[in-house]
Structure 1
Amino acid sequence: MKLAIVVGHNARAQGAVRPDTGETEFAWNSRLAKLIEEEARLFPQIEVQTFFREYCGSYRREIATVYEKADDWGADATNELHFNSHSNEAATGTEVLSSGSASSMRYATALQNRMGDALGLKDRGVKIRRSGRGSESLMCGRAPAVLIEPFFGSSPQGQAKTDEEHEQRALARSILQATQDAFL
């Protein structure tokens, strides 16, 4: 099983910022991707490779390029890493975006369950996204794709559940467990 991890955003446009640490989505999720790769040694049936989005002049081209690389690698599934943010710091929870295909939904549901167990945050559910924000990532590759939003970086609850390395490792393991649940 080949799992492509796509780090959301890019070095030029790094996404939301955690006010507690000043880390961007790109920086935080780059570290999470590394932890997923490290934890994958506990899941010998899952091969993980991380792919980074690179600015290509347009958002659509950036997404198409990174998912083409994942397809060329032979990915069986892709998981794009993000975290939510909101002006209301009371906004909290875990959610997963899916294209709505059977394989994407199976993976999204497994991720929602496993990440919920790992973080213990409000269950915001699996959301089908066929247009608007995030939909390009879910629809342009060959492999079933999901986009995760495990917590709100703007929420003290989300920050408290993801600020320690052991919590980040638990999240990384939950992603690998969900991959195993959905595909093996």
Structure 2
Amino acid sequence: MKLAIVVGHNAHAQGAVRQDTGETEFSWNSRLADIIKERAARFPSIEVRVFFREYMGSTTREVRDVYRQTDLWGADATCEHHFNSHSTTSATGTETLTSGTKSSVHFAEAVQEEMLSALGLRDRGEKYVSREGRGGKSLHFGRAPAILVEPFFGSSPKGLAATDEHHEMVRLADAILLGAQAAFE
């Protein structure tokens, strides 16, 4: 199976910021993508390739372009990586967004279950997002079943504590790979 990992945001517009380190979504998820690619060697049935959104002055154009690249590669599934943030530090939890197709929902459920086990945060569930909804373009532009993960809140002490060590990032990387394996094998 070919699993495309899409790093959310880009070097120009890097997304939310972790309150503990000041690291952005783009930076943190770029490191997570490297770990997933490295850990994929433990999953011989999964080939991983990492894709980055390039700044084009238009979110729609950059999302359309990166998912065109995943399609050209022949991705069997795509997983875009983000993390949440909120003005209140009490907002916490793990959620996975889905396009609503049967394969996308199955993929979202499998990854969500594994991320919950890895991080131990509140279950915010799997959520259907239309093409017009926040993150919807990422879920609907490519041909492959797509999910968008929001494993934690960068504004939450609980979320930060669950993801601030390298071994915690490794657990999260393995959770995504285990979820993909469960959903597509």
TM-score (structure 1 length as normaliser) = 0.99
Quick one: percent identity of the two aligned structures? 64
Aligned to 2:137: 136
DSSP 3-state at the match of 1:162: coil
Aligned to 1:92: 92
Aligned to 1:81: 81
Once residues 179 and 133 of structure 2 are traced to their aligned partners in structure 1, the CA distance between those partners, rounded to angstroms, is 26
Structure 1 gaps of 5+ residues are none
Once residues 40 and 101 of structure 2 are traced to their aligned partners in structure 1, the CA distance between those partners, rounded to angstroms, is 26
Q: Does 1:170 align with 2:168?
A: no
Q: What's the CA shift for 1:2?
A: 0.1
Once residues 184 and 53 of structure 2 are traced to their aligned partners in structure 1, the CA distance between those partners, rounded to angstroms, is 25
Once residues 92 and 17 of structure 1 are traced to their aligned partners in structure 2, the CA distance between those partners, rounded to angstroms, is 15
Aligned to 2:150: 149
Q: Deviations over 1:91-131 (max 9, x none)?
A: 00000000000000000000110000000000000000002
Once residues 46 and 104 of structure 1 are traced to their aligned partners in structure 2, the CA distance between those partners, rounded to angstroms, is 17
Q: Deviations over 1:28-67 (max 9, x none)?
A: 0000000000110000100000000001121110000000
Once residues 99 and 69 of structure 1 are traced to their aligned partners in structure 2, the CA distance between those partners, rounded to angstroms, is 19
Once residues 126 and 37 of structure 2 are traced to their aligned partners in structure 1, the CA distance between those partners, rounded to angstroms, is 24
Once residues 15 and 58 of structure 1 are traced to their aligned partners in structure 2, the CA distance between those partners, rounded to angstroms, is 14
CA RMSD of the aligned region, Å?
Answer: 0.4
Aligned pairs (5 A) from 1:35-114: 35-114=35-114
4+ residue runs over 4 A deviation: none
Number of residue-to-residue matches in the alignment:
184
Q: Deviations over 1:62-91 (max 9, x none)?
A: 000000000000000000000000000010
Aligned to 1:158: 159
Once residues 98 and 150 of structure 1 are traced to their aligned partners in structure 2, the CA distance between those partners, rounded to angstroms, is 14
TM-score (structure 2 length as normaliser) = 0.99
AA at the equivalent of 2:176: I
DSSP 3-state at the match of 2:96: strand
